[in-house]
Chains A and B, each alone.
Chain A
């Protein structure tokens, strides 16, 4: 089974700081990591290979520094990784990201399954997976929490929707987006990390992928971010600690009465 996992090297939102005077995110030098759910997409691809044999390719559209994320993917057990890197791929919308992924996939030797995350931890659009499936003209199943069975030419999965769990069968090749609950990604041991440095990691630019520049960058993106600001939220931060539980509970109740939030 040939599986492709798409993973973003994303801003680590839990470490992101905002400029207190402008409220804007401080992106220069911000910590980055493999997007949480995308790591699970990689893990699921590797588990499929371990069970059914095959090959795992990881694709990232991102900056040079994303090599770190791809090294991690290779150490986890992926066979090869592609970094799709070009100044024209920076700051683009989901339309462009999915186009770049599609062009890269067309250069590969074919595939049975593509796995994306349900959403990236910084962009959180949930769009790139379905967009990519739409561009490739293959069926898609989003919000997969469990792969039930791999059959000859199809796959059975269970997905998590607002009103229920749906078990569906889909013909291959297909694209899945997986949820955070699908697995717990492995932490690669040291020897695997060492071995990973010998695995193939290739870089491809816009011209190598044959994408005209007008389809890329700000020109090619249909959605533009005009501004992003963190609203200032002031919380009181009164903490009751180092006191017996009954005393803390009484103090809290008094405070809530003062706030006027207890009772009708």
Chain B
């Protein structure tokens, strides 16, 4: 049996590599093996690849019912092997699919689950502790989980990807797995941008103050001059669909050296994702907008007047320098 092992799982391979780094730290502290779960159909190559990034074992469940990610059949499969092998800790990537899976799995196992964690560790008494944002990102909470297994949802982007090295043993398990409960009718992929906002040094970020999609060109131009990229608030992406991802509590967290929020009110869920930026600039026509409270520099004014002037002022500077 695999009692006390540390297990990691994410449906996303890159996130899984991050979990292997976090998992390795825990397994070394506890002096127990580290294992990674691979679920799907025709995924032996994924298992092979992950086995070369540090885990002692890979539990591979390859089954036709796991062809597409389905939180219910996936939870059922993991429930079965957890009950069989009794790991101590289960790290799951806090993607949307991961959270949906973890909640259901935690209920099936009557286990505790710590969500949206940014760090995980072992406490002095051997318990699993984790840090997470609390109150919509205004505070940082430290939590402790007393159940076995302890389920920890780790936010992507917090740990480095595990480097290659070693060769874990692949343990293939065959289980009875229920058919997926959802019938897929259509999948409309989102177009993923080449430049990733979480990696940019400068982020020019537009909010609802921007009236038309075309007007974002102005921000694209500004971002290009500053060597950065454009981001947006949740309503711009999720309500209007002008971009695919947004910045904030429920989106990506960024920490550029320069953030310029344009027509952004500064709701706490948004600020939660930008507060680690080095310099925060806000441009808003409402002097009472909460974003000014989180800003190093602000311009109170109409963005349609300010942005062209800002572009002009930057051109003058680069002319002088050039």
Measured CA separation A98–B275 after assembly (Å): 32
A 168-192 contacts with B by CB, 8 A: 168-171, 177, 179-181
Write out the residue numbers on chain B whose beta carbons fall within 8 Å of the beta carbon of A11.
135
Q: Does A246 contact B (CB under 8 A)?
A: yes
Q: Does A164 contact B (CB under 8 A)?
A: yes
Measured CA separation A124–B114 after assembly (Å): 11
Q: Does A230 contact B (CB under 8 A)?
A: yes
Q: Does A129 contact B (CB under 8 A)?
A: yes
Closest to A125 in B: B115
In contact, A240 and B279 (Cβ under 8 angstroms): no
Q: A179-B238, A181-B238, A228-B140 are in contact. Are A248 and B309 (CB under 8 A)?
A: yes
Closest approach, in angstroms, between the C-beta of B259 and any C-beta of chain A?
A: 10
Q: Does B113 contact A (CB under 8 A)?
A: yes
Q: 1/0 contact trace for A207-224 toward B, CB 8 Å?
A: 000000000000001111
Closest approach, in angstroms, between the C-beta of A32 and any C-beta of chain B?
A: 13
Q: Does B189 contact A (CB under 8 A)?
A: yes
Write out the residue numbers on chain A whose beta carbons fall within 8 Å of the beta carbon of B102.
127, 130
Q: Does B154 contact A (CB under 8 A)?
A: no
In contact, B75 and A163 (Cβ under 8 angstroms): no
Q: Does B194 contact A (CB under 8 A)?
A: no
Q: Does A153 contact B (CB under 8 A)?
A: no
In contact, A223 and B188 (Cβ under 8 angstroms): no
Write out the residue numbers on chain B whose beta carbons fall within 8 Å of the beta carbon of A28.
none
Q: A25-B139, A168-B185, A249-B312 are in contact. Are A131 and B106 (CB under 8 A)?
A: yes
Measured CA separation A193–B139 after assembly (Å): 35
B 77-132 contacts with A by CB, 8 A: 95-97, 99-108, 110-116, 129
Measured CA separation A167–B189 after assembly (Å): 11
In contact, A164 and B187 (Cβ under 8 angstroms): yes
In contact, A248 and B306 (Cβ under 8 angstroms): yes
In contact, B239 and A249 (Cβ under 8 angstroms): no
Question: How many inter-chain residue pairs (CB < 8 Å) link A and B?
Answer: 270
Q: A224-B144, A248-B299 are in contact. Are A126 and B182 (CB under 8 A)?
A: no
In contact, B181 and A241 (Cβ under 8 angstroms): no
Binds A, one of B41-49, B207-215, B287-295: B287-295
Q: Does B192 contact A (CB under 8 A)?
A: yes
Write out the residue numbers on chain A whose beta carbons fall within 8 Å of the beta carbon of B145.
222-224
Which of the four size classes fits the interface of chain A? Answer: 35 or more
In contact, B143 and A235 (Cβ under 8 angstroms): no
Q: Does B40 contact A (CB under 8 A)?
A: no
Q: Does A229 contact B (CB under 8 A)?
A: yes
Measured CA separation A230–B187 after assembly (Å): 40
The prevalent SS among residues of B at the interface is mixed
Q: Determine which of B104, B134, B141, B297 lies in contact with A256 in the assembled complex, contact meaning CB atoms within 8 Å.
A: B297
In contact, B107 and A249 (Cβ under 8 angstroms): no
In contact, B103 and A127 (Cβ under 8 angstroms): yes
Binds B, one of A60-68, A80-88, A154-162: A154-162
Measured CA separation A245–B116 after assembly (Å): 41
Closest to B182 in A: A168
Q: Does A147 contact B (CB under 8 A)?
A: no
Q: Does B21 contact A (CB under 8 A)?
A: no
In contact, A133 and B139 (Cβ under 8 angstroms): no
A 17-44 contacts with B by CB, 8 A: 18, 23, 25
Closest to B184 in A: A168
In contact, A142 and B71 (Cβ under 8 angstroms): yes
Q: Does A204 contact B (CB under 8 A)?
A: no
Q: Does A108 contact B (CB under 8 A)?
A: no
B 232-250 contacts with A by CB, 8 A: 234, 238-239, 245, 249-250
In contact, A139 and B138 (Cβ under 8 angstroms): no
Closest to A142 in B: B100
Q: Does B195 contact A (CB under 8 A)?
A: no
Q: Determine which of A16, A132, A165, A179 lies in contact with B190 in the assembled complex, contact meaning CB atoms within 8 Å.
A: A165
In contact, B184 and A239 (Cβ under 8 angstroms): no
In contact, B182 and A25 (Cβ under 8 angstroms): no
Q: Determine which of A18, A168, A171, A248 lies in contact with B138 in the assembled complex, contact meaning CB atoms within 8 Å.
A: A18
Q: A130-B100, A240-B298 are in contact. Are A230 and B139 (CB under 8 A)?
A: yes
Closest approach, in angstroms, between the C-beta of A73 and any C-beta of chain B?
A: 22
Q: Determine which of B103, B113, B280 lies in contact with A235 in the assembled complex, contact meaning CB atoms within 8 Å.
A: B280
B 166-196 contacts with A by CB, 8 A: 181-190, 192
Q: A181-B239, A261-B278 are in contact. Are A253 and B115 (CB under 8 A)?
A: no
Write out the residue numbers on chain A whose beta carbons fall within 8 Å of the beta carbon of B110.
95
Write out the residue numbers on chain A whose beta carbons fall within 8 Å of the beta carbon of B314.
253, 262
Q: Which residues of A contact B (CB under 8 A)?
A: 11, 13-14, 16, 18, 23, 25, 93-95, 98, 118-119, 121-122, 124-135, 139-143, 145, 156, 160-171, 177, 179-181, 221-231, 233, 235-242, 245-246, 248-250, 252-253, 255-257, 259, 261-264
Excluding A139-B182, A224-B143, A245-B309, 11 further A-B contacts by CB distance (< 8 Å) are A13-B268, A127-B115, A130-B101, A134-B107, A139-B181, A162-B96, A163-B192, A222-B146, A223-B143, A239-B298, A252-B299
Q: Which 5 pairs from chain A and chain B are nearest by CB?
A: A222-B112, A130-B103, A134-B107, A241-B300, A249-B309
